[in-house]
Structure 1
Amino acid sequence: MEKVIVTIQRNTKPLAHQIYSSLKAIAQTPTILVDLQVNSLDNICNDGEGKLLTIDGNRFIVDGECIYEGTYTDFRWKGGILAISRKHEEGYTIFIQGQVVFETSSECDWTLINGKVVASCNEGLFYNGTKILEKKDYDRWGIFDDQLVIENALGCHQVLLPEQL
């Protein structure tokens, strides 16, 4: 069986998905094995920053520099910023560019907005490590057009612009 290794570097999500779809069709043939050297197609993009993220096992390399090495649970790559979460016995730790920005003792849902971490856990809603809401003050939250949208139990929405955070 012939093995084809493809590394997708500087590109955009639509191009990455197009390449992936084409390779997937090729991979259906029994004589060719396609090995995509990426973690997730949603994280293959330079977001206009022109930076290249390479994942080598448990090493995260941005433009040739190792930013983080070790175990991880999840990661986000947006706007040239790398954020990594790690679940451990005491809870979760979230790093940006290898530096700890948030720690919690409970399960955590998180994302990046404008290069900062927004995290929701039992203790509340946090923006880059600073609590902005108690857990009882919101039911759901999300990011829309780089704005934090919060919904309370009554279904009322509050939109926080980046400068308000």
Structure 2
Amino acid sequence: AYLLPLAAPWPLLGLIGVMGEFTLRLVAVGGIAAHLIRTIPPTRFTAALRAMRVPEAFTVSGAVMLRFVPTIVAEARAVRDAMRLRGLGGVTGMLRHPLLSVEYFTVPLIASSLRSAEDLSASALLRGLGSQPWPTTMHPPRFGRADAVAVLAVALLTTATLWWRYTR
């Protein structure tokens, strides 16, 4: 994406290159977030953040998001299936009435998300998520060999990126 505007004299190709650069960054961050959501249980994630002494505002919001995102995805699928059963969904319905389709999808999704958010916040309070004394963890997180390799890889990639960027 950096080199395309320099290589192509047409502004349209430069625009496509810049859009590709930002899309690639968002896809990378989204992939990391999806991997985090699918592989790390929220209790372990919270314990790791507390062990790193991350402020509680970030710890609580991260734990809530890890629990809330899969719920939203499930609710969106349920709303989409309900729209299809009523004959409101599909590509042709979206093309014929795009604003109505967005409204028919968004309003039930917001209502079900609010109900789910209430349930999740009640569950978080019962688990002691906002309590002052830190709860004990059954498996305390430790810095291991895999973590050291990951830190080394990130350091090497950062060094290579900075070297490439400032030596051109």
What is the TM-score normalised by the length of structure 2?
0.22
Structure number with higher relative contact order (C-alpha < 8 Å, ≥ 6 residues apart): 2
Please state which structure has a larger fraction of its residues in strand: 1
**Computing the radius of gyration over CA atoms, which structure comes out larger, 1 or 2?**
2
More helix by share: 2
